Amino acid sequence: MPKPNWLPTVVPYGADQTVYLVFDSFGASRSDCPEKQIERDDLETTISDLLTGQFNAPVCVMAFNTLEHWIEDVSNQVAEDIQARCDIDGVPVPEHVRDFVASHTGLWQAGC
């Protein structure tokens, strides 16, 4: 899955907060609709919003910390968490995040 072609070079100063950006392509081709970033304040909200369909076609999830000045692609961690939650609940990965999970975990399971 393609990654965004930009990353902030400097994270802004401020309170010690980690912010999560979800890049969603809205299911359109890259030429029709560029990725849109949607900000979330915590990882749990980000994962819950992904599971409940708040995003149509997530591409990646980036985290950055405002005090420590780091940025990280956490897509694999988020995808693995979604897969684990679905496995524990005995439900398939929701269709709207299936490609995201498969592309970041490498798991292509029948019925998922």
Give the pLDDT confidence of 14-49 residue by residue, as tens digits. Answer: 567 888 989 988 655 444 444 445 666 789 999 999
Domain assignment present for 91:
yes
Could you read off the pLDDT of 56-75 as tens digits, one per residue? 889 999 998 888 888 999 99
Given a contact cutoff of 8 angstroms between Cβ atoms, the answer to whether 55 and 22 are in contact is: yes
Whether 6 is covered by a domain: the verdict is no
Residue 7 forms part of a structural domain: no
100 has a pLDDT exceeding 90:
yes
Closest to 71 measured CA to CA, from 25, 6, 2, 1? 6
Domain contains 10: no
- The answer to the question of residue 8 being in a domain is no
SS (H, E, C) the chain: CCCCCCCCCCCCCCCCCEEEEEEECCCCCCCCCCCEEEEECCHHHHHHHHHCCCCCCEEEEEEEECCCCEEEECHHHHHHHHHHHHHHHCCCCCHHHHHHHHHHHCCCCCCC
- Asked if the structure places residue 69 within a domain, the reply is yes
Cα 67 off chain centre by: 22
112 domain residue, yes or no? no
What's the domain range around 41? Answer: 18-26+33-105
Number of domains in the chain: 1
